[in-house]
Structure formats: structure tokens, C-alpha cells
Amino acid sequence: MNVNGLKYDWSSLSQSKANAATSLYNSRMSDYRYREDVTDGYVSLHYALPHTVFIAGVRVDNVDYTSWSPTSSNNIASEGFTRRNGNYINPLPSFDIVHHFPWNVNVHASYSRSIGRPTPSNIAQAEKISCGTDDDSGVASCSISSGNPNLKPRKAHNFDVAVDKYFDHGNGMVSATFFNKIIKDDIYNLTNIYMQDGEIFQSSTPMNASGSILRGVEFSALDRSIHLLGQVFDLSMNATWMQGHMHYSNGTTMLRSDHLIYQPDVLVNGAVTWHIPAIKGALRATANYNGKFLTGLGSTRDENTGQGSVFMLNMALWHQVYKNVSFKYEVQNLSNTHFNNVIGSKLQYTNNTNYLGRGVYFHVILDYK
């Protein structure tokens, strides 16, 4: 390297002992392992009448897991691992009824029990301390993250009722769905912010809630054959409104949150595709809106963290250049959307903003039928 006649002695970049120790600590504390063996069995019974179908079934879900977590003492990581074993078995019944009414109308009602397993990091990640750089909250100068080996999987009783109406010779459909979920042992991140030795610490640990409920309504519509001004379009959209609450502990007191983790109040998605026979391709635009949502619950409501609402527009064009070969051009985040990390009892304060820019992609598609 020679800039304006100045030479730099690269040998002076040797790592200091302090940096080497920090690097070794970060490497070892991130080196957790997790193994999960899942065994499932399912049996179902189907019974059909001229206009009604009944489906009853049960799935048995058995899990055996082992985690290996690194250990540390006085912020010095050891080479050994702490091994933990666990297992659980759950029967998961379900029952569905579908009735076919005249005028191409179907009514679908169902009940099911489902299970959501913790991620490997939720269980096996060791306590890790990181200082010197701001974390996602934009508040603390030191962050502590750890897994929870005693974490239970979330279990839910799910109730759904849907009404579907088909039209345009089966090319179009409108649907309205009501759903209600009663959740036990929902998983959330408990965040604590405190002062220690002149530094602001933020700790985050996955925990189980005592009880949660999520309910909402979804409306969707699509038509794959809309003729307008001599052109053919596909149109689809769906909108969901959700409401939920969770009872959880901050370590000393039972609290209530009026939202679940990652649960916005409103979701809206839409897409329109213009088919262009002259180029044997199409032009498509998609739009998505996601309301703000929680990502972590604090020991007080003012310490709740989340992500702000987001609107994003994407576009894509594809055309055939040769038999079985097509080119596709895609622009993601055409609206140049940015993402806000927010905090507060109502997620009303912005801590930092992430500008991701646009993504431009070129694809070569080989299609052999």
C-alpha cells in the first residue's frame, strides 16, 4: 500500500493481548451445539356424506434432545461443555368438517392442537457478555444474552372457521376466516436494563408465559383471469386483523401484555400480474404492509422493544429469450423502505433506523417440462 508516498507498516497490526482474549471468549461462548430427534406417528379417519366431509385424526409427537453449552467463569470461557438432556411427548388431535353449499360456497370448521418447539439457541446458547458497541436497543453499552435449558415448547388449541366463495368458473375466490388460539407456555424474550460498574447492561433471556390468546379475522380474494382493455391480469390480496394478550412474569411480578411477540395488529398483502403474451412473460408488482410488533418484553412496560410498521413495494419482469430459457429482472424494496427499532410501553420511541436500500436481481430460468 503506497498512498501519496506514505508506506504503512502492516506488522504493527498484531493483535493485543486484550483483543486476543476477547476474540477467544466470543468464539468459545458462541460454540454451542444442539441435537434433536423427532419421531411422529399419525392416524386419521375420513367419513364423507354427499355434501359434508368429516376428518378426525391424532398425531403423536415425541422429541428427545441434547444440548452442549459452553461455560465461563469471571468472563473467561473454558474449553468444556455442559451437557443437558430432555424429552417430551405430546398427543396432537385434530377434527375438521367441510360442508359444500349451493352457489359454490364452502364452510370449513376445524379444531387442532399444535406444538411449537424452541429454537436451538433458545435452549443451548450460553450466557454471553458483549461490551463496547451498542446493541439493537440503542440504549445499553453492554448486552447479555443467554438460552434457557428449562424452556418448554409452546402448545396451542386452535379453532378456525372459514367461508369460501368461488366464482369466474373457478378462477376466482373470496374467503373470510375467523381464528382463535389458546396458547400455553408461549415463548418470549425477557429484557432487563440495569446499571453496573458505570455501564448500562441489557440482558435478554427466553422465557415461558403462563398463558396467551390470539384471535383475529383474515379476508382474502383472488382472480386469475381478469380481462381489461384486451389484457389479462391476475389479482390477489389478503388482509388480517389480530388481537392478542399474554400473561408473563418479569421475575417478581405477573404482568399482562396486550400483544404477543411478533404479533402486529394488521397485515396486508397484495399482488397484480400483467400477462404479456408478446414476450411470453409478465410484469408483477407486490405490496406488503406489516404493522409494528413486539420483539421483547421488558421487566417494565417502558423497556418493551419492537419493530416499527413497514410498507414495501417489489416489482419483477420476466420474458422468454429461447425455448425453455427465460430472463427475470427483479427489484426488491422499490419503495426504499427503512426499518425502525422501537421501544416503550406502546413502542412509541425510535431508537435507531436501518436503511437497507434496494436489491436488484437478474435470474436465468431453465424450464424443462
Q: Write down the pLDDT at residue 195.
A: 78
Question: In 10 A of CB 181, how many CB atoms?
Answer: 20
Look-up: residue for cell 453496573? 196
pLDDT given for residue 9 in this prediction: 64
Count helices and strands (H / E) in the chain.
Answer: 2, 24
* Predicted local confidence at residue 21, as pLDDT: 73
What is the residue-level pLDDT of the chain in tens, covering all 369 positions? 556 666 666 666 666 666 777 777 777 777 888 999 999 999 999 999 999 999 999 999 999 999 988 877 666 777 778 888 889 999 999 999 999 999 999 999 999 999 998 988 888 887 777 776 544 445 556 777 788 888 899 999 999 999 999 998 889 999 999 999 999 999 988 877 777 777 777 788 889 998 999 999 999 999 998 998 889 999 999 999 999 999 988 778 888 999 999 999 999 999 999 999 999 999 999 999 999 999 988 888 888 989 999 999 999 999 999 989 999 999 999 999 999 999 998 999 998 899 889 999 999 999 887
How far apart (Å, rounded) are the C-alpha atoms in residues 15 and 29?
20
Residue-level pLDDT at 135: 47
Spell out a b/e string for 272-282, using b for 16 or more CB atoms within 10 Å of the CB, else e: ebbbeeeeebb
Nearest to 148 by CA among 34, 297, 44: 34
Angle at 86 between CA 81 and CA 88, to 5 degrees: 160
Residue 74: per-residue pLDDT:
66
Specify whether the CB–CB gap between 54 and 97 falls below 8 A: yes
Determine contact, residues 276/319, Cβ cutoff 8 Å: yes
- Reading the block at residue 114, the C-alpha cell is 399444535
Closest of 312, 307, 362 to residue 337, by C-alpha: 312
Burial 103-118 (b: 16+ CB within 10 A, else e): eeebebebebbbeebb
**pLDDT for the residue 314:** 97
